[in-house]
A and B are shown apart, each in its own frame.
Chain A
C-alpha cells in the first residue's frame, strides 16, 4: 500500500506541477494546493502506514502508528493554509491591479 500511496503522491505532484506551468492564476494556485497534498501524503507514507492503532494512548495497546509524521503534517497543513490564503488574496489583487489573470502577460520589462 505504501507504494500505491507513493505513486498517488507522485500523481498529485505531477498534476500540481502541470497546473503550475499554466498561464492562468487560478490554475497555478490550484497547482500549489495539489503539490502540498502530495507532500503531506509523502510524509504520511514515510511513517509506516497502519502498523497500529491511532496514537492515542490506551491501556493494553502496545502497537501505535508513528505519531511524529502526523505531528509534522499537522504543522505543515496549517502553514500551507496560511500561505494559500495569502496567495489567493495576492492573486486576486494582482489580477485586479494588472487587469489580467494571465501570468504570461505579467512579464514586465526592465527599467520601469
Chain B
C-alpha cells in the first residue's frame, strides 16, 4: 500500500488553492502554474515508472479496507491516462498566458485549470463508482467555471446548454449508482464486478448497465448524445477548448472502457454489439458534421466524435488487439486533439476569423504553423508512421479477427473524410495567393508554437517509437481482459 496513488489528485487540488490565493498577481500565478504543473508531471512520471515496473498501486484511503472504504487503483491503464493528462496539462499551462486575456486570467483561470486536472485524475484513479461520480462533479464544476470564463453573450448561451445537459447526465449517473447499490449492495467497482459475475449479469443488471453507458456516452459525446458538444467546445478560450477536447470526453470513454471491461462483460452479444453500432454511427455522423462547416474550430470539434467512435469500436470488439487499439487511440487522441485545437486557435487568431471562406495564402506568412497543421492532419487521420496509425491498425486488426467487416469499412472511409475535413483547412486556408493587402500583417506567434511542437513530438514518438510503448499497452489490454486480476488486486481475497 502506498500513498503515492493520491498524489496526482491532491497536488493539483493544492496547486489550485495556491494559485487562487495569488490570484491578483497574475505574473506570479503564471510562473506558479508552470512550476506546479511540471512538478505534477514529474511526480506522475515517477508513479508511472513504479506502476509499469512493479505493478498497480492500490491505496485504501483512510486505511479502510476495500470494499468498505474508497480505494484508489493506480493500475497501468489509469496511470497511463493520468500521465497523458499531465503532459497535455503542461503544454496548456505554457500556452495559456499567450492565449488568455488578462481579464480571464484574473477570473481564476489557473485555479479552475488545476481543479479540472484534479477531477480528471481522480476519475481515472478511483475504484469506487460513487466516488467516480464525485470526481465527475469536480471536473464538471471546474469545466462549468472555465466555459463561462470571459462571459460573452455567446459563451453564456452555449454554457447554459452545456451545464444543463451535463447536470442531467450527472443526475442520471447518481440514479444509476443507486440502482446498482440496490441490486448488488455495494459501490466498490471490484466488488460490483465480482457480484455481477456471480449472478451472471441478470437482465436488470444489463438494463442498468445500458443506463450507465448512456451517462458516460453523453460525457463522451457519442452518437446520438453529442449534440451539446461541438458548439460549446468552440465558444470558450482556445486553451479551455483544448483541455476539454483532450480530457472531458476522454473521461467519459475511459469510464465506458473500465465499466464494460471490468463489470458488464457477461452479455457481450447485446451490449457490445450495440457499441459497434454506436461506433459506426458516431464515425459517420461525426465526419458528416466536420464536413458540414467552414468554421475551422467547429471542424476540429466535430472530429472528436469519430475519434470516440474508434475507441468504442475497440471496446465493442473486446479482444486483445482491438482493446490495445482503443487504448492506443485514446492516448493518441488526447494529444492530437489538444494540438489541433491549439493550432486552429492560433490560425483563427492570425487570420482574424474562424471562417475558412475568408482565409487564404496564410502559408506565405506563417509557414511553420501551416506545416504543423499539415502534419497534424495526417497524424489525426492515422496515416503511418504517426501515432494514429498504430491505434487504428490494432483496432482494425482486432475487428477483422472478430469478423466485424462492416465497421472496418466504415472506419476506413471515415478516416478518409477526417483527413479531407482537416486538409481543407490547409488547402483553402494556407494555400493560395499571397495577400498583399496587409490583412494578415505579421502577428507574433511566439510562445504559441513551442507547446504545440512539444505535444506533436510526443504524438510522433507514439507512432515511430511504438516499439517502446506498444508492449505496455498490450499488457494493459490483456490485464483488462481478465477482470479477475483487477478484482483480486483490490479485494485481496
- Which residues does A use to contact B, with CB under 8 Å? 20, 25, 28, 32, 35-36, 38-39, 42-43, 45-47, 68-69, 72, 75-76, 79, 82-83, 86-87, 90-91, 93-94, 97-98, 103, 106, 108, 110-112
Contacts and interface: CB of A to CB of B under 8 A. Distances in A.
29 contacts: A35-B168, A38-B175, A39-B174, A39-B175, A39-B178, A42-B178, A43-B178, A45-B182, A72-B178, A82-B137, A83-B170, A87-B160, A90-B160, A93-B151, A94-B157, A94-B159, A97-B152, A98-B156, A98-B157, A103-B160, A103-B161, A108-B154, A110-B293, A110-B295, A110-B298, A111-B295, A111-B354, A111-B355, A112-B154
B179 A72 contact: no
- Main DSSP-derived SS at the B contact region: helix
B31 interface: no
A99 B217 CA distance: 33
A25 B160 CA distance: 10
Contacts of B163: 83, 86-87, 90
A47 B293 CA distance: 50
A28 B164 contact: yes
B177 A72 contact: yes
A111 B296 CA distance: 9
B153 A98 contact: yes
B158 interface: yes
Nearest to A25: B160
A46 B171 contact: no
B64 to A, nearest CB: 13
Q: Which of A35, A76, A103, A112: most chain B Cβ within 10 A?
A: A76
Contacts of A43: 174-175, 177-178, 181
B39 to A, nearest CB: 28
B181 A90 contact: no
B170 to A, nearest CB: 8
B157 A46 contact: no
Contacts of B210: none
B420 interface: no
B175 A108 contact: no
A90 B159 contact: yes
Nearest to B175: A39
Contacts of B137: 79, 82-83
Given A46-B178, A106-B161, A110-B298, 4 more contacts: A45-B182, A72-B178, A93-B148, A94-B159
Q: Which of B133, B153, B167, B187: most chain A Cβ within 10 A?
A: B167
Contacts, number: 104
A48 B161 CA distance: 36
B157 A83 contact: no
Interface of B: 130, 133-134, 137, 141, 144-145, 148, 151-154, 156-161, 163-164, 167-168, 170-172, 174-175, 177-179, 181-182, 187, 231, 293-295, 298, 354-355
A1 to B, nearest CB: 15
A36 B170 CA distance: 9
A91 B175 CA distance: 25
Q: Which of B152, B171, B295, B354: most chain A Cβ within 10 A?
A: B171
B178 to A, nearest CB: 4
Nearest to B133: A76
A86 B159 contact: no
B158 A108 contact: yes
A112 B153 CA distance: 11
B171 to A, nearest CB: 5
A28 B9 CA distance: 34
Contact of B156 (A36, A76, A90): A90
A32 B178 contact: no
Contacts of B158: 108
Contacts of A110: 293, 295, 298
Contact of B179 (A38, A46, A91): A46
Contacts of A97: 151-153, 156
Contact of A94 (B156, B171, B178, B182): B156
B182 A46 contact: yes
A97 B154 CA distance: 9
A5 to B, nearest CB: 12
Contacts of B182: 45-46
A32 B175 CA distance: 13
Contacts of B187: 68, 72
A86 B153 contact: no
A106 B160 contact: yes
Contact of B130 (A39, A72, A93): A72
A36 B354 CA distance: 39
Contacts of B355: 111
A32 B134 contact: no
Contacts of A106: 157, 160-161
A79 B168 contact: no
A61 to B, nearest CB: 21
Contact of A35 (B141, B171, B181): B171
Nearest to A71: B130
A98 to B, nearest CB: 6
